[in-house]
Structure 1
Amino acid sequence: MSQADEQYVEIWGDRVSMRDLVLALAVTAAATVAAVVVGRALGSSEFFWGLGGAVVGFGASMALVRPKRDVRIVADEDTEAGPPPA
């Protein structure tokens, strides 16, 4: 499947790939659940372990899913000419 054929959904005014969204959510959820299980096994605060797992999952998601946006900065001719004469 090419990028042109891929399905996108609009979330908060931005278009995202469903495949990448589901992958990122699954990685973050798995890391969070694993951290809570570790916290429970150690008998410490599951809440903070879960927060740490969510942060680790978010970082892993950032590494796995790359942006597909192509940003080009184009100079405006009016701004290069300087301020208008007084």
Structure 2
Amino acid sequence: MSNKNRVDKQAEKGENIEVWEDLVNIKDLVLCLFISSVTTLGAYLIAPSEPPKPLVYGLIGAVIGFVLSSILVRPKRTFRYVNGEE
């Protein structure tokens, strides 16, 4: 079964949604949003109340959330290079 057929079948089942002209698995999207929200808000809330520190802590929390999300959720896309003559 080709990758395009697999993606089409997943889209028919409702497992994927289109985000910025790309198909995204709903469970993976919700998981990544949850991870990023928790790390960003958690870092913001533990920051000292001095003016620039909550912003810096929140940004660091967002980066940590992004790194965790990219480790936990692997891309499911496969690329095939096809010669133009085929």
**TM-score, normalised on structure 1?**
0.76
Q: Offset of 1:77 from its aligned partner?
A: 2.4
Bigger share in helix? 2
Question: 1:60 is matched by which residue type in structure 2?
Answer: L
Instruction: Say if 2:28 is the partner of 1:20.
Output: yes
CA deviation digits over 1:11-61, x for unaligned, max 9?
111110000000000000111011112213xx4410110011001100100
Q: Which residue of 2 aligns with 1:81?
A: none
Q: Which residue number in structure 2 is paired with residue 55 of structure 1?
A: 63
Give me the identity figure in percent.
38
1:37 alignment partner in structure 2: 45
Looking at structure 1, the residues matched to 71 and 46 of structure 2 have their Cα atoms a distance apart, in angstroms, of 23
TM (norm. structure 2) is 0.76
1:73 counterpart residue number: 81
Query: 2:47 is paired with a residue of what secondary structure?
Result: helix
Residue 24 of structure 1 aligns with an amino acid whose one-letter code is C
Cα offsets for 1:66-85 (capped at 9, x unmatched): 1111111112229xxxxxxx
